[in-house]
Amino acid sequence: MSPGKPAAKDSAAKKHETKTRELTMPDLVLLSLLAEQPMHGYQANLELERRQVQDWAGVSRPQVYYSLEKLARLRLIAETGNHEPALGPERRIFSTTAKGRAALASALEREDWTNQRERPPFLTWMALSWQASPPTVLKQLRRREQFLETELAREQETLRAVEKEVGHVFHEAVWMIKLVIEQFRTELLWLRQIAAEIPRRAPAANPAHIKTTH
């Protein structure tokens, strides 16, 4: 065995430990949810589904149970209440610890929450759409419009339900939904403008390309 192998093994172990300690999006969502009230995994999944988590965080059922185990191991959440072993681990009730609240607060200070841009598939399609036939372009624009109209109606219904539940408009859930509604409305206006301008579509008048020398 070479002298360098133990050091390499220790380095790999440290990297693995660091990775397991890093808080993922599901971890942070669970810490916040369990800070509201103690829950078991099954209840947490139901509550996240009710809050339509897939629209704003994309947390799956398996990720919830994995995060619960990880957060408990890191002592960021702790078991609370009466637990009946016969019900299984998914019925263990957890709440966020003081250490967990501090970790969540620290994670929310990260700059990367504020300086990232999304890359929506439809924007990519638009960049490539000059290769599609004119009828295909119009059909896809109409599909996108129909999708946004459906989603807009769903979000408006969700907003009414949330405002009724929270009892006022000064709440993060209300602000989030209002942002989504405004984004949908803006894109719908843009789509209708594009549909009107499509017949005048033309290639770039002054194309610029990187030139290479061999």
- Are residues 31 and 72 in contact, defined by beta-carbon separation less than 8 angstroms? no
Task: Find the mean pLDDT for residues 201-214.
Answer: 85
**At 181, is the pLDDT very low, low, confident or very high (cuts 50, 70, 90)?**
very high
Each residue of 106-139: pLDDT tens digit? 999 999 999 999 999 999 999 999 999 999 999 9
Q: Which tops the pLDDT comparison, 207 or 190?
A: 190
| b (16+ CB within 10 A) / e for 101-128 | eebbeebeeeeeeeeeeeeeebeeeeee
Provide the residue ranges of all domains of the chain, joining segments of one domain with +: 13-109, 121-199
pLDDT for 57 equals: 94
Predicted confidence band at 176 (pLDDT cuts at 50, 70, 90)?
Answer: very high
Q: What is the pLDDT of residue 81?
A: 72
Domain 13-109 sits in CATH at 1.10.10.10
CA of 183: how far to CAs of 119, 136, 158, 162, 196, in Å? Answer: 14, 25, 15, 19, 20
Query: Within 10 A of 37 (CB to CB), how many other CB atoms are there?
Result: 11
Average pLDDT, the chain: 89
**What's the pTM value of the predicted model, to 2 decimals?**
0.82
In the predicted model, is pLDDT for residue 163 greater than 90?
yes
